[in-house]
């Protein structure tokens, strides 16, 4: 949510910053801007719209500056327009700042500053911070001190990068609650919201923690707390490759990520399966083995797609390990004084590892004494660092705003946890072996499924003009239906609801007529017959049935207008396979409607505000 880049070094900053913004655009894309310090003063360009709009403004300018900051915005305070776009300057024009997060006490600060004669151009909380820093700079004549004092005073969250025109060899970066890292090159440094903007220049990065700042000069940097205590930070290495954040010939990142899933599902289990023993090995959980053995209840907390995978996880873990599992929206968990009992295990799931609601939930759980583990994709992210132990998805960077490969990998990892907890309890070695075998067969099944997807294109063509969709499934397929509906709404803007198939008759059945496409996940499992009854109910009301069915099930054609076949697997792994055609259906409908699939309106890849 909002992408920040800052550069200090010897290269032309404008092009480094622009490249960085393009890499970070998935974090927010309603406006973009840049500040370059040149000959003692700032050159500022900012514009509503995507980074490409800002880029086109560069044609009329030539910049030689080697110090600058840039921002791609997801609006919180103030509508997306040129004035509200970042960077923001103070009244003297000496301070320029980009900000990600929310300054909660901005209105009282603003009133105070206005009383002292300061003016504001925008409606943003971020400009208040810039003006506040400027006022302190005016008072003390010390840039670093001004930033520190301002940050000690503000409430809320920030990731900021700030420059002062009086000091052309200094860039200050600081964070509380919003991610910020910096790359360490040879005489050059790049600050960014995430590693994707840095990897092109260096693999060495420093992760800032909350209430830490870096004062960066061309000949080195110091890191300290906002309270001015020096700290030594470890330099880490970025693990992914540059090509993993490029489209690799696909029209969209989302399509690339859908087609990567045979590999990413495999990568999520690589080195973790012990087929001969019917067990799994999760090295990242070693520090909490004792707590896993003693766990009496599990609470899984997450948002969005990760919350859907958590629901699948609930069914899997309860079935394999017979431990009660509750799934909580992270945004609710935090604010309702939840009961945490001794021997509760809290699992946070997050692709980005930066979701503010999920972060707040794990802090709440830790504070109440729970053992907290993470299932996270982004290595080194805040949730990964703040949990006691965890398992990485190893799905590689997910750039498309709509989550795809993370979902399937999350279910794989939850299955691994289910098997591990089950084998610590009553799950037999024989059952463990067959589960492990089945998991191992999934990548080949996904590959096979992705070989021919033409029927999905035809279905997309037939239903692209519909205004509403229903997605129905039972058992493990109910959360999969929720996920199918979420994919369609977020990238096509078509209204879609996911529902437990049998629950439909308690209300949503009123919506069904010949204009309602209903996607049923109707795979061969123990409740297949029941799902067929639900299909009959829809069919009797002339709903248009699109069935996701098991290969070889010819009889389903009796009711379904369209059938998408998926390979057979055991019920708990069906969501992994069923998700993929639903992702493709949403994708093709969105493309046919001319939507910006990778950057759907109003969304951002990682939601770093509560
Ligand atoms: O990074 P996280 O998994 O914590 O993100 C949670 C949600 O914001 C995310 O899944 C969101 O719902 C996606 N747009 C879904 O496609």
Mean of per-residue pLDDT scores for the chain: 95
What proportion of the chain, given as a percentage, has pLDDT over 70?
Answer: 100
Residues 110 and 182: beta-carbon distance below 8 Å: no
- Categorize the per-residue pLDDT at 234 as very low, low, confident or very high, splitting at 50, 70 and 90: very high
Confidence check: pLDDT of 450 > 80: yes
* β pairing state of 468-473 and 495-500: parallel
**C-alpha to C-alpha distances, 193 to 19, 107, 180, 356, nearest whole angstrom:** 13, 26, 5, 14
- Categorize the per-residue pLDDT at 243 as very low, low, confident or very high, splitting at 50, 70 and 90: confident
Q: Three-state DSSP class for 508?
A: helix
387 CA to centre of ligand 1 in angstroms: 19
The catalytic position among 46, 110, 224, 605 is: 605
**Which of the 8 DSSP states describes residue 238?**
-
Residues 460 and 487: beta-carbon distance below 8 Å: no
Please give the Cα distance from 502 to 242 (Å, whole number).
Answer: 46
Confidence check: pLDDT of 28 > 90: no
Whole-number pLDDT of residue 438: 98
Please give the Cα distance from 10 to 191 (Å, whole number).
Answer: 15
404 CA to centre of ligand 1 in angstroms: 10
DSSP assignment string, 326-348: EEEEHHHHTTS-----TTEEEEE
Burial class from Cβ neighbours inside 10 Å (0-12, 13-18, 19+) for residue 175 reads buried
What number of other Cβ atoms are within 10 A of residue 368's Cβ?
15
- Domains of the chain from N-terminus onward: 3-238 (3.60.20.10), 246-450 (3.40.50.10490), 454-592 (3.40.50.10490)
Residues 408 and 265: beta-carbon distance below 8 Å: yes
Please give the Cα distance from 237 to 27 (Å, whole number).
Answer: 22
Whole-number pLDDT of residue 26: 85
Q: Which atom of ligand 1 is nearest to the CA of 355?
A: 4
Residue of 179, 257, 303 to mutate, ligand 1, most atoms within 8 A of C-beta: 303
Q: Each residue of 572-600: pLDDT tens digit? A: 999 999 999 999 999 999 999 999 999 99
For helices 574-592 and 429-451, angle between their N-to-C axes, nearest 10 degrees: 20
Nearest-5° angle of CA 461, CA 467, CA 472? 85
Q: Which residues line ligand 1 (CB under 6 A)?
A: 303-306, 350-352, 355, 358, 401-403, 490, 603, 606-607
**Which of the 8 DSSP states describes residue 230?**
E
Confidence check: pLDDT of 606 > 90: no
Smallest CA separation from ligand 1 atom 9, residue: 304
Q: Each residue of 507-559: pLDDT tens digit? A: 999 999 999 999 999 999 889 999 999 999 999 999 999 999 999 999 999 99
**Which of the 8 DSSP states describes residue 235?**
P
Whole-number pLDDT of residue 61: 77
- Ranges of beta strands (E only) in 27-90 are 31-38, 41-48, 67-73, 88-89
Q: What integer is the mean pLDDT of 228-250?
A: 93
598 CA to centre of ligand 1 in angstroms: 13
Residues 550 and 557: beta-carbon distance below 8 Å: no
Q: Tell me the pTM.
A: 0.90
Instruction: Tell me which H or E stretch contains 562.
Output: strand 562-566
- Cα dihedral 410, 415, 416, 417 sign: positive
- Cα dihedral 449, 454, 456, 457 sign: positive
Is 2 among the catalytic positions? Answer: yes
Q: What integer is the mean pLDDT of 289-306?
A: 97
Whole-number pLDDT of residue 96: 98
For residues 35-59, b (16+ Cβ closer than 10 Å) or e, as one string?
bbbbeeebbbbbbbebbeebbeeee
Residue of 1, 300, 306, 397 to mutate, ligand 1, most atoms within 8 A of C-beta: 306
Confidence check: pLDDT of 342 > 90: no
Confidence check: pLDDT of 182 > 90: yes
Q: What integer is the mean pLDDT of 325-349?
A: 93
Confidence check: pLDDT of 608 > 90: no
442 CA to centre of ligand 1 in angstroms: 24
Q: Each residue of 95-132: pLDDT tens digit? A: 999 999 999 999 999 999 999 999 999 999 999 999 99
247 CA to centre of ligand 1 in angstroms: 20
**Which of the 8 DSSP states describes residue 70?**
E
Please give the Cα distance from 73 to 48 (Å, whole number).
Answer: 9
Confidence check: pLDDT of 79 > 90: no
Q: Each residue of 122-175: pLDDT tens digit? A: 999 999 999 999 999 999 999 999 999 999 999 999 999 999 999 999 999 999
Q: Which atom of ligand 1 is nearest to the CA of 402?
A: 16
């Amino acid at each position: 949510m909002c992408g920040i880049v800052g550069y200090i070094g010897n290269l032309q900053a404008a092009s480094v910053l622009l490249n960085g913004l393009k890499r970070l655009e998935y974090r927010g894309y309603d406006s973009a801007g840049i500040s370059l310090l040149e000959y003692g003063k700032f050159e500022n360009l900012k514009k509503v719209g995507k980074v490409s709009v800002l880029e086109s403004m560069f044609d009329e300018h030539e910049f030689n500056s080697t110090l600058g900051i840039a921002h791609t915005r997801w609006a919180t305070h103030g509508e997306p327009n040129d004035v509200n776009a970042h960077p923001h300057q103070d009244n003297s024009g000496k301070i320029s700042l980009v900000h990600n997060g929310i300054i909660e006490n901005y209105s009282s600060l603003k009133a105070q500053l206005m009383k002292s004669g300061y003016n504001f151009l925008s409606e943003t909380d971020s400009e208040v911070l810039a003006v506040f820093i400027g006022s302190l700079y005016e008072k003390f004549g010390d840039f670093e001190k001004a930033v520190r004092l301002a940050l000690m005073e503000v409430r809320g969250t920030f990731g900021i990068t700030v420059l002062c025109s009086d000091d052309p060899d200094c860039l200050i970066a600081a964070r509380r609650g919003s991610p910020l890292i910096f790359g360490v090159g040879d005489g050059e440094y790049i600050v960014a919201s995430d590693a994707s903007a840095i990897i092109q220049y260096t693999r060495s990065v420093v992760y800032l923690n909350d209430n830490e700042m870096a004062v960066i000069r061309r000949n080195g940097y110091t890191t300290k707390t906002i309270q001015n205590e020096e700290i030594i930070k470890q330099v880490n290495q970025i693990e992914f490759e540059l090509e993993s954040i490029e489209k690799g010939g696909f029209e969209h990142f989302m399509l690339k990520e859908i087609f990567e899933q045979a590999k990413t599902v495999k990568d999520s289990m690589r080195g973790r399966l012990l087929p001969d023993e019917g067990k799994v090995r999760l090295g990242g959980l070693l520090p909490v083995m004792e707590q896993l053995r003693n766990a009496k209840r599990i609470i899984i907390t997450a948002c969005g797609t990760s919350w859907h995978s958590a629901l699948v996880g609930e069914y899997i873990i309860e079935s394999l390990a017979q431990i009660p599992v509750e799934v909580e929206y992270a945004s609710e968990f935090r604010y309702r004084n939840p009961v945490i009992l001794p021997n509760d295990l809290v699992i946070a799931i997050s692709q980005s590892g930066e979701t503010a609601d999920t972060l707040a939930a794990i802090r709440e759980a830790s504070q109440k004494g729970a053992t907290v583990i993470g299932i996270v994709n982004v290595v080194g992210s805040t949730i990964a660092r703040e949990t006691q132990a965890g398992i990485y998805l190893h799905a590689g960077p997910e750039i498309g705003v709509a989550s795809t490969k993370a979902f399937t990998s999350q279910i794989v990892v939850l299955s691994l946890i289910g098997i591990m907890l089950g084998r610590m309890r009553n799950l037999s070695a024989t059952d463990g072996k067959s589960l492990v075998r089945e998991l191992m067969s999934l990548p080949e099944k996904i590959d096979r499924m992705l070989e021919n997807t033409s029927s999905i294109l035809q279905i997309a063509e037939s239903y692209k003009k519909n205004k509403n969709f229903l997605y129905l499934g039972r058992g493990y397929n109910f959360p999969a239906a929720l996920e199918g509906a979420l994919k369609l709404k977020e990238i096509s803007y078509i209204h879609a609801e996911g529902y437990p198939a049998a629950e439909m008759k308690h209300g949503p059945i009123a919506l069904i007529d010949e204009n309602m496409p209903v996607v049923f996940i109707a795979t061969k499992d123990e409740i297949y017959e029941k799902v067929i009854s639900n299909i009959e109910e829809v069919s009797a009301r002339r709903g248009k049935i699109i069935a996701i069915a098991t290969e070889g099930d010819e009889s389903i054609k009796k009711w379904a207008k369209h059938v998408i076949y998926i390979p057979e697997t055991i019920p708990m792994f069906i969501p992994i396979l069923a998700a993929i055609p639903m992702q493709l259906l949403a994708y093709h409908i969105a493309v046919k409607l001319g939507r910006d699939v990778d950057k759907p309106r109003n969304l951002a890849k990682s939601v770093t505000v509560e």
